[in-house]
Amino acid sequence: MDKVRTTFDEWAQNGRAELMEKEHGKNVAKFLEEISFEEPFSFLDVGCGNGWVVRKMSSHSKCTKSIGIDKSKKMIIQAKKNKTKSIEQYIHTDIESWKYRGKFDFVFSMESLYYAHSIDVALKKIYKLLKPGGMFFCGTDFYTDNKATAHWARMMNLNMHLHSKKEWKKIFKDAGFETKTKHIKDKDSRKKWKKEFGTLFLIGTKPKKESSN
């Protein structure tokens, strides 16, 4: 039994999907507002939940395709019910096993990658799904530098890969990405860690010309 899938199926039914949108929405919006979307683009959300980021991006005038995948079937059912644009698509699958022939300009993941059975396998797949010059935005509040969230895996009784900011950067670099990081903080939050540490975003760019090594 996949405990992650079971947990998120339960969350889809008990209102936690909407809570995740509320908890992460402000920082995600703040981050995405700083990205230039001047050319027509395709977008993939890995671990899309109820589809709130997919819907947000599908409303952008330059977005040509916005796809969300999630291993929770009930999250995908909810996302499909909330669909607002014809360019949106929601698929019940996980990134490691997903068979898809197309390429994306942008791939996004919020609080999802650390649930993968193998982060290395997941990252290699994401790298492959990106066009040359494409970018992967990975957001997480769960990292060792942020002591306030380090107990989440124990609290949820799930296998979650906990890494430091430095370790995350190395993992991305080893997968072939040119990597930058950015912290998005919420100065108005009542939670101290959201003010001091905030959400760590890893920005991985696939080189336009890949190394022959």
Q: Using one digit for the tens of pLDDT, what is the confidence trace for 29-67?
A: 999 999 999 999 999 999 999 999 999 999 999 999 999
Instruction: Please check whether residue 54 is in contact with residue 90, taking contact to mean a CB–CB distance below 8 angstroms.
Output: yes
Give 100's contacts (C-beta < 8 A, 6+ positions apart): 129
Most confident of the ranges 140-144, 148-152, 191-195? 140-144
**CA separation (Å) from 62 to 39, 94, 134, 157?**
6, 27, 15, 41
Q: What distance in Å separates the CA atoms of residue 17 and residue 32, rounded to the nearest whole number?
A: 20
Q: Any idea which of 61-65, 95-99, 181-185, 189-193 has the lowest mean pLDDT? A: 189-193
Helices within 15-162 (DSSP H only): 16-33, 52-58, 73-81, 119-129, 152-156
Q: Average per-residue pLDDT in the chain?
A: 93
Amino acid at 34: E
Tokens representing 94? 């996980």
Upper half-sphere CA count for residue 103 (Cβ side, 13 Å): 10
Q: What distance in Å separates the CA atoms of residue 94 and residue 5, rounded to the nearest whole number?
A: 10
Q: Average pLDDT, stretch 109-116?
A: 95
Amino acid at 112: S
Q: Average pLDDT, stretch 13-29?
A: 87
Kindly report, residue by residue over 143-174, the tens digit of the pLDDT. 999 999 988 988 888 999 999 999 999 999 99
